[in-house]
């Protein structure tokens, strides 16, 4: 997965393609998920990326509602994105990044929220959504 960095040398932040970091998503969690999925050879890293369907769903939701709160986008998108996340890998990624043990469901939801925020940032970069 392509990435680039933002910030000073002391505090570098990796961002996936089409992410701005504007919404404060914990992209290190997403990078850790990809790394662990790849290490374990399960191929799950391919499921946890931006999909055309994700972008279209959020874009349509925003156009139907006109003005929409970020919380509404998260609520509508989270269950769909969550289905693609392996909870065991999510737990390992959360522990790797944050150094604390959490339940699998908690970790999977945390990663799903990162993906939803990434979707919103991508749509803003594409000029299809205003934040």
Domain ranges of the chain: 18-125
Q: For residues 22 and 5, what is the distance between their CA atoms, to the nearest angstrom?
A: 13
Each residue's pLDDT tens digit, 22-33: 999 999 999 999
Radius of gyration of the chain (CA): 15
- pTM, rounded to two decimals: 0.86
Question: 10 Å Cβ neighbour count for 96?
Answer: 15
Asked if the model's pLDDT at residue 61 lies above 70, the reply is yes
Residue 14 pairs in a beta bridge with: 5
- For residue 117, give the nearest of 22, 12, 7 by alpha carbon: 22
Asked if the model's pLDDT at residue 12 lies above 90, the reply is no
Each residue's pLDDT tens digit, 75-128: 999 999 999 999 999 999 999 999 999 999 999 999 999 999 999 999 999 999
Tokens of 12: 């570098």
- Side-chain-facing half-sphere of 105: CA atoms under 13 Å: 1
């Amino acid at each position: 997965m392509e990435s680039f960095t933002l910030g000073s040398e002391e505090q570098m932040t990796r961002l996936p393609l089409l992410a701005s970091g504007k919404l404060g998503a914990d992209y290190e969690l997403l990078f850790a998920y990809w790394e662990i999925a790849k290490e374990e050879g399960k191929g799950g890293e391919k499921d946890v990326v931006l999909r055309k369907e994700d972008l279209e769903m959020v874009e349509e939701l925003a156009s139907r509602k006109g003005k929409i709160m970020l919380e509404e986008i998260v609520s509508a998108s989270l269950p769909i994105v969550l289905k693609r996340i392996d909870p065991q890998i999510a737990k390992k990624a959360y522990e790797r990044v944050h150094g604390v043990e959490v339940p699998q469901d908690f970790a999977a939801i945390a990663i799903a929220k990162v993906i939803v925020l990434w979707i919103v940032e991508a749509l803003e970069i594409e000029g299809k959504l205003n934040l």
